[in-house]
Amino acid sequence: MKFYPVCFFALILYPALSLQAAEPESYDIVIYGGTSAGIVAGIQAKSMGKSVVVIEPTDREGGLTTGGLGQTDIGNKQVIGGLSREFYERIAAHYTNPQAWKWQKREEYKDSGQTRTAKGEATMWTFEPGAALAVYRKWIEEIGLNIVFTERLDRESGVKTDNYRITEIGMESGRKYIGKMFIDATYEGDLMAAAGVDYSVGREANAQYGETLNGVQTRMARHHNFVDGVDPWRVKGDPASGLLPFLDPDGPGEEGSADKRVQAYCYRMCLTNHPENRIPFHKPEGYDEEWYELLLRNFEAGEKGMPWINSSMPNRKTDTNNRTGFSTDFIGQNYDYPEADYAGRDAIAKRHLLYQQGLMWTLANHPRVPDAIRNQVAKWGMCKDEFTEGNGWQKQLYVREARRMISDFVMTQNHCQQKEKVTDRVGMGAYTMDSHNTQRYVTAEGYAKNEGDVQVGGFPPYPISYQSIVPKKSQCRNLFVPVCLSASHMAFGSIRMEPVFMVLGQSAATAASLAIDDDIPVQDVSYSKLKARLESDDQILHYDAPPRAPANYHSIKSLKGIVVDESQAKLTGPWTKSILGQGVHHGYHHDGNGQDGNSVAVFTTDLPGPGKYEVQIAYSINGNRATNTPVKIAHAAGEDTVKVNQKKKPEIEDLFTSLGTWQFDKTGTVTITNKDTDGFVIIDAVRWLPKAE
């Protein structure tokens, strides 16, 4: 058994753990986990007239929604309804108050993502952690929801069952809770596991569920990876010196095979560049420069990208996430977390914090970091007015994935891509199937590489099954699991979004209330009755894309001139496919707001003959687009570069923007990059139109 030192904030949260017997508290519904799913489940249970308690193991409610994840990831936000949408409407209402704008004027804020799903809609999808916390606390007060803080489940002997039902759960403090129904809303699935429900940790083999994206995936390593040629040895070129830290000597494994590796965790940092609110990055006690040697060697091997996605939040703050081969993800250092005891998890979280604090200090100060990156990172720091007890650092680790229940129905890649059907819908997912890297290994050529990053989208919103949030009837009959639901690793990678967890939390509480009313196991709840109640509460169970006017969709053959779609271009570096707001052919690609020059698209065509041609580009507009996208046109007399404002609506057929007219020989070439851009770069199509002499 591994020994883990007790973490600092475990001692603060749990100064005294009383094991004295306590009189059990009795409720209709007991929710363990005050995450966004747990809070919404509690609000729904209250609205259905049930007595309910939410038990949160820490001293802060809201999970990742209040813990730094202010850039709402979902894909198609039209499928978010019910109380989940109400939360984002309350966020929008919060920011209508002028007092909410302390460090920035409202009109100055331009987010790096989509803040609304339609013009005039009363939602906002980007927010500060403190704003999310204020919204939740006001909502909780309004409805009178009972939340108990700093109470951790006794995972060894605290869960009592009888006749396939949980009768009571006990905390480490000795407090006990009796319920008719229970909901596990934790990111770890602790109540589910302690109740004896089947679950998995890690990645399934592709063969298990007939998938193609699961298991070990070295061939998918196009994003978030090292440049070629990064030496993995402590002494360059000397395998006898041993591997640098955090490289897995047993990797990568057989392609597509199962393993127990877990995709990487990090902290979603809330940063600011406002001088009055900024805390400069510090060199943490215990800093080990060798931890970051691969980062420095990656730069020296040619990496030019910024190692973060710095999404803009209100008040000159950010939600900062992982990007490039060596970034905020602490790859391979969380395998024990799902099953570890509390001390073990605290130790893992503390080590992640040390790693990330050391990373930020390194990026902002180390002389081997390229000047442009070091100078940019040094402008930022933690926020004085967020997570004040941690000097700007939160306690909520981004647990992207831990346990996943195995029920009678398992959501898989095939359900996301709708190759297999779901008939008992309780919510919808809409995000790309997204796994972060799981391991760092040495290739056969002797270089460092990451493995496990998979990003596959291009499918419409899909339904999530009711059976995936309830256990097998033979194991537990009064438990719901809306977070660690029954899904394969790849399906969970799409479902695991905070607004979807809220949707499933509401659906779980609704079904729990109906099961109480009818005195039946959760597996026997009438789906027709559940569906009717969900729809009356504005849950969205079906989504058909609105019909697209012919003017907004153009096949290549229907357009005049010589058209090259981005699917026909040569793409290098990070590009991500999107199907929203498509203009030419089937969708477009964007660069993920990289701004580093690594994303390059080269459009080339054979022209009918020498002569003058007008060159045009197509793109879809949005407020997060770059205003200075560099487009280089190679023509008979040389090359010219035009900067394009992709926030501006294209003036030609609402589709194309003219770059100018040039003399060409027999070939046309246009190159689009994201070098020093100030927003998302979009590539859709390039057109050459012959001009009369």
Who contacts 536 (Cβ-Cβ below 8 Å, separation ≥6)?
A: none
According to the model, what pLDDT value does residue 459 have? Answer: 92
| Contact of 28 with 181, CB cutoff 8 Å | yes
**Distance in angstroms (rounded) separating the CA atoms of residues 72 and 112:** 11
Show the tokens assigned to 104.
Answer: 């920035």
According to the model, what pLDDT value does residue 70 have? Answer: 97
According to the model, what pLDDT value does residue 4 have? Answer: 35
According to the model, what pLDDT value does residue 2 have? Answer: 36
Cα distance from N-terminal residue to C-terminal residue, the chain: 82
Burial call 309-333: b when 16+ CB within 10 Å, e when fewer:
bbbbbbbbbbbbbbbbbbbbbbbbb
Taking alpha carbons only, the member of 485, 476, 483 closest to residue 196 is: 476
According to the model, what pLDDT value does residue 456 have? Answer: 92
**Distance in angstroms (rounded) separating the CA atoms of residues 61 and 129:** 11
**Distance in angstroms (rounded) separating the CA atoms of residues 447 and 443:** 5
According to the model, what pLDDT value does residue 8 have? Answer: 34
Q: Give the type of residue at 176.
A: K
Q: Characterise 528 by phi-psi region: left (phi > 0), alpha (psi -120 to 50), beta (else).
A: alpha
According to the model, what pLDDT value does residue 498 have? Answer: 98
Domains in the chain, ordered, with CATH? Answer: 24-202+402-536 (3.50.50.60), 550-690 (2.60.120.260)
Burial class (CB in 10 A: 0-12, 13-18, 19+), 571: middle
| Contact of 617 with 657, CB cutoff 8 Å | yes
Q: Phi/psi at 527 (nearest 5 deg)?
A: -70, -35
Q: Characterise 638 by phi-psi region: left (phi > 0), alpha (psi -120 to 50), beta (else).
A: left
Write the DSSP string, 14-74. -S-------PPEEEEEEEE--BHHHHHHHHHHHHTT--EEEEESSS-SBGGGTTT--B---
Burial class (CB in 10 A: 0-12, 13-18, 19+), 7: buried
Say if pTM beats, i.e. exceeds, 0.85: no
According to the model, what pLDDT value does residue 573 have? Answer: 82
Helix (H, G, I), strand (E, B) or coil at 11: helix
How many Cβ atoms from other residues are within 10 Å of residue 207's Cβ? 12
Rg, the chain, Cα only:
26
Residues of the chain with pLDDT under 70: 1-21, 111-120, 222, 545-555, 579-582, 693
According to the model, what pLDDT value does residue 119 have? Answer: 63
**DSSP-assigned beta bridge partners for residue 660:** 615
